[in-house]
Amino acid sequence: MAKGNILIVDDNKSILSALDILLTSEFQTVTTLSDPNQIPTELRKKDFNLVILDMNFNAGINTGNEGFYWLGRIRETNPEISVVMITAYGDIELTVKALKAGATDFVMKPWDNAKLIATLKSALQLNLSKKEVVQLKEKEKGLKSEINREQKYIVGSSPQLMQVLNLVRKVAKTDANVLITGENGAGKELIAQEIHRLSERSQEVMVSVDMGAITETLFESELFGHVKGAFTDARENRPGKFEVADKGSLFLDEIGNLSFHLQSKLLAAIQNRQISRIGSNQTVPVDIRLICATNKKLESMVHEGLFREDLLYRINTIQIEVPPLRERENDVLVLADFFLKKYASKYNKPSLKINQQAQDKLLKYSWPGNIRELQHTIEKAVILSENNVLKPEDFFMRPVQSGKNITPEITLEEMEKRMISLAIEKNNGNLSAAADQLGITRQTLYNKIKKSGQ
């Protein structure tokens, strides 16, 4: 039996019965209609590959105009569907006209069973080929943004980092789901990229999704895709991140920020390894390697009813904890030198050096924003430098409060609120800059501001 869903439209019920009997054993599903006005409804219900369309539906009319009208409607709805026209009143002129109008083929009644089946199977293959081309083009659009991402590298040789990389090498060769945990800016995405680079899927793309930056209304469209016309702004078919990542790796960053009711939709896609685009009933199988990351304590969130326990079990077959920079003291100066060379080249200041006193200052600082904070600190120092030697005063780090200055009665929520206010004030209301300083995404900052009523 050939794959493929066929819709037969003919006002003669005897014709419908004969074709149904003939084709049921040859194709996956066969649907019959005697009223062409039901065609749009059927096309919305199911993803058809092929339509057998009669050309005349009213007694005494043999012009074929009705068939041409519905041919146009079908192709307008789905240009990839193969349409085979069928009629008892045909000639060469009508055949040529039908093919020019977009029909795949033309069959005369009465038909030869063997020839009809061969014609329909050829039309089915044409449809499958067209759909494959469309899917490849759609995936190519999604791939471009992933391929053009800046290449980043893991830098350091501390024992703590080496222990993590040793675990990465063991895990990478498997297809096990991995959960990467650690503080903001510690390098969780770099670890995800290393897992992908060392995996059997390294020749395919790794698609990254910041779950904290996706609004709830766009969640399904971003991850599962949509078809044209599914909602107001859906002007074309678009594959979701799951489809773009097919045969490769899907990295879901900040997964702890996903709201509870959306977690069930993500879980279903991960479990079933298939998705449906918004506006489509067709399921699309996906073959992905899942890697997630979070700076949150998901076990605590499970106990608080904020994170699904079954989703947690599904995503953390292997858990990798990335150590904060303050525990990788040997790597601070190595990373500082790496970023110095990078930004000295970028800003055309090739002779820059960091003096000993400045190095001591970098080593003494606790780096609450981890590698991301160090990177921004070095870049800022390079931009503002006026001499070839960077001194302690060239590095601007956020002040660290001593424990005796912290009021015991203050809550963590209030402390967070104050830090956000200070960051926004310091950056003159620029939320993106404030988010960078705090080591969180702009969307996460916006959510915290909204929650606290600031």
Tens-digit pLDDT profile for residues 319-345: 999 999 999 988 999 999 999 999 999
- Phi then psi dihedrals of residue 246, to 5 deg: -50, 130
Q: Per-residue pLDDT for 383 more than 70?
A: yes
> Which of the four pLDDT bands, split at 50, 70 and 90, describes residue 139?
low
Do 367 and 182 contact (CB within 8 A), yes or no? Answer: no
Q: Which CATH class is domain 159-321?
A: alpha beta
Do 280 and 225 contact (CB within 8 A), yes or no? Answer: no
SS3 289: strand
101-118 pLDDT per residue, tens: 889 998 888 888 999 999
- Phi then psi dihedrals of residue 61, to 5 deg: -110, 120
> Which of the four pLDDT bands, split at 50, 70 and 90, describes residue 366?
very high
Q: Per-residue pLDDT for 1 more than 80?
A: no
252-307 pLDDT per residue, tens: 999 999 999 899 999 999 999 999 999 888 888 999 999 999 999 999 999 999 99
- Cis omega (within 30 of 0) for bond into 350: no
Q: Find how far residue 218's CA is from the centre of its chain.
A: 11
- Phi then psi dihedrals of residue 195, to 5 deg: -60, -45
202-250 pLDDT per residue, tens: 988 899 999 988 888 889 999 999 888 888 777 888 889 999 999 999 9
| CATH hierarchy code of domain 401-454 | 1.10.10.60
List b or e across 61-78, with b for residues whose CB sees 16 or more CB atoms inside 10 angstroms: eeebebbbebbeebbeeb
Mean pLDDT of 153-162: 90
Q: Supply the pLDDT for residue 403.
A: 42
**What ranges do the domains of the chain cover?**
2-132, 159-321, 326-398, 401-454
- Phi then psi dihedrals of residue 100, to 5 deg: -65, -30
- Phi then psi dihedrals of residue 226, to 5 deg: -150, 165
Q: Tokens 């525990």 belong to which residue?
A: 327
SS3 83: strand
Three-state SS for 8-48 is EECCCHHHHHHHHHHHHCCEEEEEEECCHHHHHHHHHHCCC
Q: What percent of the chain has pLDDT over 90?
A: 54
Do 119 and 105 contact (CB within 8 A), yes or no? Answer: yes
Q: Which CA distances in Å does 367 have to 3, 163, 326, 397, 398?
A: 59, 21, 6, 9, 9
Is the pTM higher than 0.75? The answer reads: no
Q: Per-residue pLDDT for 408 more than 70?
A: no
Query: What CATH superfamily classification does 2-132 receive?
Result: Response regulator (3.40.50.2300)
- Torsion over CA: 188, 193, 194, 200 (sign): positive
Of 411 and 375, more confident: 375
| CATH hierarchy code of domain 326-398 | 1.10.8.60
The answer to whether domain 159-321 and domain 401-454 are alike in fold is no
Q: Per-residue pLDDT for 402 more than 70?
A: no
Q: Supply the pLDDT for residue 241.
A: 93
Q: Per-residue pLDDT for 404 more than 50?
A: no
* CA 392 – CA 394 distance, rounded (Å): 5
Lowest mean pLDDT segment, chosen from 45-49, 61-65, 103-107, 108-112 = 61-65
- Phi then psi dihedrals of residue 112, to 5 deg: -95, 125
Q: What is the dihedral of CA 433, 434, 439, 442, to 10 degrees?
A: -80
Residues 6+ apart with CB under 8 A from 108: 86, 87, 88, 90
- Tell me the sheet residues that pair with 107: 86
